[in-house]
Homo-oligomer: A and B are copies of this chain.
Amino acid sequence: MKAEIISIGTEILLGHIVNNNAAFMAQGLASIGMDVFYQVTVGDNHARLSSTIEAALERSDVVIMTGGLGPTVDDITLQTIASVTKRSLVYNREIEKEIKASFKRRKIRPPKEVFRQAYIPKGGRWLSNKIGTAPGLIIRMGEKILIALPGPPRELNPIFEKYILPLLSKMSGGGIIKSRVLKITGLAESQVNTKVKDLLRLGPKVTVGIYAHLGEVDLKIMAKAKTKREADRGINKVASKIKNRFGDFVLGEDSDTLESVVGGLLIKKRKTIAIAESCTGGLISNLLTNIPGSSKYTRANVVTYCNKSKEEILGVPAKLITHHGAVSPQVCLAMAKGVRWLADTDIGLSVTGIAGPAGKKKNKPVGLAYVALATKKKGVVKKYFFSGNRTDIKLQTAQRALDMARRYLLDAG
């Protein structure tokens, strides 16, 4: 079955609010195996809303509208539905009762306009709104269903979950869609794409999609099936293929992040870490301490922005900075060793680079960054060039540092 979402409201057309409702309902519809091929946003305008509803009824089985059910004259969704479906609006005493009760609870006298919301198109079923006063509406038209729901998310969400999803799930035959995301780091989107080209054309029961973010590429596996078990089976098969192909480049699944995985590994392997940051300015420390339980492996992290602090706090030899510059593999490694010594931890992790927009030097462009890791026994340092603005460069540098720690910890005893 095909569903279509129509969002009604000038505030979306003007960009004053982001259309979270559409995403919320789309997720729910996907979870019950219902296809959504179109989402349309239109204003509170009779002609345009009419033609949008007509087009939707033409091409979709279920049309879900949100917004425009308020008590003011701007709100014309119900009138438009009535005219498109050639039904009259009738006054409903039960809705009137609900509205009165709602105002009584809030100890406010209901203004006259609010009772406009007690009118519904003839033959429609109304859905109780426990938060606001605009009821939801369901109209069956032969094989097709027209649904209208209030726009405010706190009113929409409970009605959608309580009435709409169960109803549509029953109608669509009870199939489900499950999904799993495998997160890949350290490879560009095009590199990932080359390795999974064949999997991108699996369909229609199991599909794989590529979604690139800064420093991370997600492979989303989706399975349509009759049961959860069948869906899981389909997903597992593809997931193990992907894991075989990418190995350590897979950082985790679904809600995993680089920092949550590094945090988990630190706890599992009983290691402590200290971080010395220059260009990332505290971002790595901030990310790692977003993870509950980070006090188990964190003692002290430092941001050494100026040369003097690198020398005085971390004990980086002044000579190294003079000879090689603060943004150099030598200084980066010395920072990792220095912070490990300062905080007395198993691992020292460090970054130094040029986040821009100013600060580039001869042979040292904006985006140049070094990442180093030191333990009692060894030290490694890597060089990178990143593009983007200041925060992009900070984030990519932080990701490579966390990934260096992740890879070290995976192998660590």
A residues engaging B (CB < 8 A)? 10-20, 22-30, 36-43, 45, 48, 52, 55, 70-74, 102, 105-108, 110-111, 113-114, 131, 152, 154, 177, 188-191, 193-194, 197, 200-201, 209-212, 214, 220, 222, 277, 280-286, 288-290, 292-295, 298-306, 308-309, 313, 342-343, 355-359, 367, 385-388, 390-392, 394
Q: Is the CB of A289 within 8 A of B300?
A: no
CB distance from A96 to the nearest CB of B (A): 15
> Considering the chains assembled together, what is the distance between the CA atoms of A194 and B110 in angstroms?
11
Enumerate 30 A-B pairs (CB-CB under 8 Å) in ascending A order: A14-B222, A18-B19, A18-B20, A37-B42, A38-B41, A38-B48, A40-B40, A55-B55, A73-B197, A73-B201, A105-B367, A106-B385, A111-B191, A111-B194, A131-B388, A154-B214, A277-B282, A281-B285, A281-B289, A285-B286, A290-B391, A292-B358, A299-B308, A300-B302, A300-B305, A300-B309, A300-B313, A301-B305, A302-B302, A303-B303
Copies of the protein in its oligomer: 2
Q: Is the CB of A25 within 8 A of B15?
A: yes
> Considering the chains assembled together, what is the distance between the CA atoms of A43 and B39 in angstroms?
10
> Considering the chains assembled together, what is the distance between the CA atoms of A147 and B10 in angstroms?
23
> Considering the chains assembled together, what is the distance between the CA atoms of A187 and B358 in angstroms?
36
- Minimal Cβ-Cβ distance residue in B for A26: B15
CB distance from A192 to the nearest CB of B (A): 10
> Considering the chains assembled together, what is the distance between the CA atoms of A20 and B18 in angstroms?
6
Q: Is the CB of A27 within 8 A of B15?
A: yes
- Minimal Cβ-Cβ distance residue in B for A303: B301
> Considering the chains assembled together, what is the distance between the CA atoms of A357 and B293 in angstroms?
8
User: Residues of B contacting A210 with CB < 8 Å?
Assistant: 70, 72, 74
User: Residues of B contacting A17 with CB < 8 Å?
Assistant: 23
User: Residues of B contacting A359 with CB < 8 Å?
Assistant: 295
